[in-house]
Amino acid sequence: MYPELGDTGIRMYDLLNTCANVSIFIYNLIMLSSKKNLLSNKSLFFLKITSKKDNFLSLIGPGFLAFIEILLISFVQYYPIGILNSNFGIFMKTGPNYFGYIFFIPLFLFTLFYIFSINPFKQMDLITPACALALVFIKLGCLFHGCCSGFYWEWGYLNHDYLSEPKREFPSQLLEALLALAIFIFLHHYRKKAKEGTMFPIYIILYSATRFFSEFTRGESNVLGPLKIYHILCIIGVAVGFIELFIVLKFSNKITPFFDRPVYTWYKEKNIVHHKNKKKKRVIASAVAAENNRAKYKMWAIIWSLGLVGQIGWHLEGTWLNTFVYEKIDKNPSVISLTLIMSAVATTASVFIFGTITDRTGNRRHLISTGLIIWGILNAGFALTQFIAEKSLGGSIVVLVIIDMLLSFFATMSTEVGYSTWLTDIMNDKNRGLIGAAFAVQSVLANLIGSIVGGYIIGNENNYIRLFIISGIFLSTFGIAALFFFSEKDDVPPSVKGSFIKQFISIFDFKVLSKHKELLCTYAAVAIFFIGYDTYGSYLGNYIIQYLGFPANKMGIIQAAPLLLATLVTLPASKLINNRKFVNVSLASLAIGLIGMFLILSIDRDAVDTAKTFDLKLFSSVFCVGSSYIIMIQTLKTWTKHLYPKDSKGQFEGLWMLSLNLIPMLIASNLGEIIVKNSGETIFNELSGRYEYIPNENVFLIGILISTLSVIPILLTKKFSKGNKEEEESAFALRHKN
């Protein structure tokens, strides 16, 4: 095998070990998010003392804390592998080996469980199969890396070991990977039958026993007759496993209370029954309340995990595709305009097609998972175009546009139809502002993660192939995981209105649309605002890199850091949105955007020090522009969903996408191209024989001024909302009463 993935510069060992880490997290997320005791005692105690009823922490807090806890458990479960294996290998004089992990990782996890007051045996049972699953990827990494090799075998694979000449060896790593996969399958199905606390000792015994036999195929020298040093470790491993199994069976009842300290009982138990003897109160938890809590935690876990994944995927396409085109294809805004327009067409078509399908079937979950899987596969196809560009510029542009259209089509199927319509299903007056805030925060976090991590992956050598392949694996992996996040309970009653074609075109019936005047005004506000935003948004990265002169890795930080601070504005905005102050919040957003525009105009390129990442004016302008975008997307997203008809949510997502994507892209992409070509910098590249167009501050001036015009339809909504005000208020009061 080969240590690197072609000429991408990606080390297969690092890639597969990253997959091992991700597999642990996803498996733990699936297993832990469906259990009763999702949150630890300390987290519940924290929620009690920091939150009040119906505010941000009490509603979004449980799901977010659960997500963080699972992430931390997964990190502690995986991260010590390298340290333990290396140090234990030095101590045993064997080199790095997996026994350091299985002998000592319980100490790390039990320490974490003690800090959070979590039942250690129950948690270990749930997460133990992930150890075997990660081992599958680790051993495959060894196979590609050339380490842990087998004995010389004439019919074996050709090992391109980085330390020696290629030679044919028995694929011991592949054998161990298959054994680890068998252990994972067994543990995953056996977990329901196993006695509490016995899963990890059983894993140690199974791994040590199977490793004992696979060790005979390894190339290490013998130390005791036919036995190698690892045979001795396997025997010790079996002994350690049985000792731990004995301790669990004999003393688990005495150990568990040491971890489970009920500091939050008065918070967790909500229904208290007072008996005649007040000194001896008996606390009885309500089964209904507990079930509602579990459903709420699961809901927020899905909102944060899948929502963030989808936003990261869109950010990678929206930001790095544009810089990729300028760096590897052609420094011409016409190419970006073409990809944006065709992508918007594919996106809009996808929303209307799958929006009608999801309304007719009531099924959102399959659209989410299938779309993510295909999205990830297509994402890697971007990198192919740079090789085509070396031979044919026109051919590379055609391939780029086709791949981008397909990618946008299936990405929209997952996020803008499946996931977004599911959000509409669960949205109510109590969580509307918080869901909008989560959506806006996820957009910023995606910008943060996508910009910093994306810039780091690309590196100074501008290796975009690495980025697209890794992001593709990331998206497809979560698409597979999404299959387990939902059940049939998440489906809604189907809404069938005649044939598919008849229902498909019904959304364009003006008589139907005219009944929703306030909604049409909000759609107009969305279209106008994003015409302006898309005019300059697509050029922000190239403005920082090509015009101001910052490298790609610094550009990621320059965009991400101010936007991370901008997420704070979602907290007061969510409170106002819950109180239906949509107009006031939107006007505040436009005002902040204008401030950002004046700050950008005040930047002097000659005074910017590109050797330093921080520039006060640049950071402040990105903060204001980002805050304006965050507040507006948070407000308009929840505002329109609040006005959707109940039986056409999927199809009205199509109108949202029409106003958010297609109309702005058709206008803004051409407008941005005109501005950049006529008012930006034009450079003739003698090597390529083509002109290069560099965007400057003028694209921001015109774009933000256009966005400000959305004030007109925003103010018009007041006129159309007055007629239904009394009816809405009575319905609002009735829902809160229930």
261 and 330 housed in the same domain? no
Query: Of 222, 252, 271, which residue constitutes the final position of a domain?
Result: 271
Using the predicted structure, report yes or no on whether residue 161 has a pLDDT greater than 80: no
Note whether residue 555 is domain-resident.
yes
**Model confidence at 724: pLDDT above 80:** no
Q: State the average pLDDT over residues 639-650.
A: 70
- Residue 47 has a pLDDT of 57
pLDDT at 561: 72
Look up residue 411 and give its two tokens: 């990405």
Q: Which of 225, 248, 271 is the last residue of a domain?
A: 271
* pLDDT at site 144: 76
Q: Tell me whether residue 4 is in a domain.
A: no
Per-residue model confidence (pLDDT) at position 465: 77
Two structure tokens written together for 336: 């970006």
Find the mean pLDDT for residues 174-183: 89
Does residue 737 have a pLDDT over 50? no
Instruction: Establish if 635 belongs to a structural domain.
Output: yes
Q: Are residues 62 and 179 in the same domain?
A: yes
| Rounded CA Rg of the chain | 28
234 and 331 in a single domain? The answer is no
682-699 pLDDT per residue, tens = 777 777 677 777 888 888
Question: Mean pLDDT throughout 205-227?
Answer: 81
Banded pLDDT at 276 (limits 50, 70, 90): very low
For residue 652, CA distances in Å to 355, 498, 639 come to 8, 18, 13
In a domain, 730, yes or no: no
Same domain, residue pair 319 and 174: no
Q: What pLDDT band is residue 282 in, cutting at 50, 70 and 90?
A: very low
Query: Do 321 and 198 share a structural domain?
Result: no
> Which of 171-175, 276-280, 319-323 has the least mean pLDDT?
276-280
pLDDT at residue number 553: 65
**Do residues 264 and 324 share a domain?**
no
**Which of 289, 250, 298, 291 has the alpha carbon at shortest distance from 270?**
289
Residue 598 has pLDDT above 70, yes or no: yes
The range of the structural domain enclosing residue 132 comes to 12-271
258 and 332 inside one domain: no
Mean pLDDT value across the chain: 75
82-109 residue pLDDT tens? 666 666 666 655 666 677 777 778 888 8
Q: Taking each helix axis as running N to C, give the angle between helix 333-361 and helix 365-379, from 0 to 180 degrees, rounded to the nearest 10.
A: 160
Tell me if 498 is assigned to some domain: yes
Q: Determine which of 53-67, 163-177, 202-216, 624-638 has the lowest per-residue pLDDT on average.
A: 53-67
Task: Tell whether the model's pLDDT for residue 12 goes beyond 80.
Answer: no
Relative to beta strand 681-685, strand 282-283 is unpaired
Total count of domains within the chain: 2
Residues 242 and 319 in one domain: no
Residues 169 and 21 in one domain: yes
pLDDT at 300: 78
CA distance 284 to 273: 7
**Who has greater pLDDT, 297 or 470?**
470
Asked, for residue 221, whether it belongs to a domain, the answer is yes
**pLDDT in the model for residue 120:** 82
Q: Residue 432: which CATH number?
A: 1.20.1250.20
pLDDT at 182: 92
Residue at 26 is within a domain:
yes
Predicted pLDDT at 254: 77
pLDDT of residue 273: 41
Cα separation, 335 vs 475, whole angstroms: 26
Q: Do 199 and 338 reside in the same domain of the chain? A: no
Q: What is the pLDDT of residue 617?
A: 84
Count of all residues that appear for the chain in the document: 738
Q: Are residues 350 and 256 in the same domain?
A: no
For residue 275, pLDDT over 50 is answered with no
Mean pLDDT in residue range 458-477:
79
Let me know: does 677 contact 693? Beta carbons within 8 Å. Answer: yes
- On whether both 102 and 151 belong to a single domain, the answer is yes
Per-residue pLDDT, 3: 61
Q: Which comes out higher in pLDDT, residue 393 or 414? A: 414
- Give the C-alpha separation, 443 to 71, whole Å: 20
Residue 289 lies in a domain: no
Residue 731's Cβ-side half-sphere holds a number of Cα atoms within 13 Å equal to 8
pLDDT of 733 reads 47
pLDDT at 265: 41
High-pLDDT (> 90) share of the chain, %: 3
pLDDT for 293 equals 63
**pLDDT (tens digit, 9 = 90+) per residue, 432-449?**
667 767 776 777 777 777
Residue 22's CB is within 10 A of a number of other CB atoms, namely 19
